[in-house]
A and B are shown apart, each in its own frame.
Chain A
Amino acid sequence: QQQVKQSPQSLIVQKGGIPIINCAYENTAFDYFPWYQQFPGKGPALLIAIRPDVSEKKEGRFTISFNKSAKQFSLHIMDSQPGDSATYFCAARISNFGNEKLTFGTGTRLTIIP
């Protein structure tokens, strides 16, 4: 059962453009929403994260927008660069009596062309 739906599967954007990756979830018990960035041959690395009581979080060129009522959140990359070309995963965490579990989206392969 896919609890976090991510789109698009792949995305090509010109340098300087603003790629947007979207995720939707169903379980309202999720309490933490991180984004991970993965380069070829490497494991995913935490990029930015948001909690559901905040509608937007910005770190450098990366911004998460969060819409609690729609159960959707998205990643925006400002002034995108070829070095941002990677696979991006959204995730959602559920906490249950001290046990925490992350559920990942299926990933978006982003290519920034010069």
Chain B
Amino acid sequence: KAGVTQTPRYLIKTRGQQVTLSCSPISGHRSVSWYQQTPGQGLQFLFEYFSETQRNKGNFPGRFSGRQFSNSRSEMNVSTLELGDSALYLCASSLRTDTQYFGPGTRLTVL
């Protein structure tokens, strides 16, 4: 089975811009979660989608949003980028949260 794929792998944006990240889960997985990883904070949960519905949400501002399509692919959008949004954004898919399978991440740099 192919693993979780994320595109793009690297992104450089400037403050104020917006960005969209994409995640394709493992075939058959309907749950997709997004995390922000930074050196100081570790993995911070952003949100989880299941069958096109947001099921859980972390403590991030409304600038961070996501959606899931009928084929379980998911996108994450960050609007009005700030310097502090520079991070590795990880997507994970699962059948249950017993085992989350992570993608390689998208490295976002905000200048």
Contact = CB atoms under 8 A, between A and B. Distances in A.
Interface of A: 6, 32, 34, 36, 41-46, 49, 89, 93, 99-107
Interface of B: 4, 33, 35, 40-45, 48, 55-56, 90, 92, 96-105
A104 B97 CA distance: 13
Chain A at the B interface: SS class: strand
Nearest to A91: B43
Given A43-B102, A43-B103, A104 B96 contact: no
Contacts, number: 52
B97 A102 contact: yes
Contact of B42 (A49, A99, A104): A104
A41 B104 contact: yes
Contacts of A44: 43, 90, 102
Contacts of B92: 43
Contact of B48 (A32, A36, A101, A105): A101
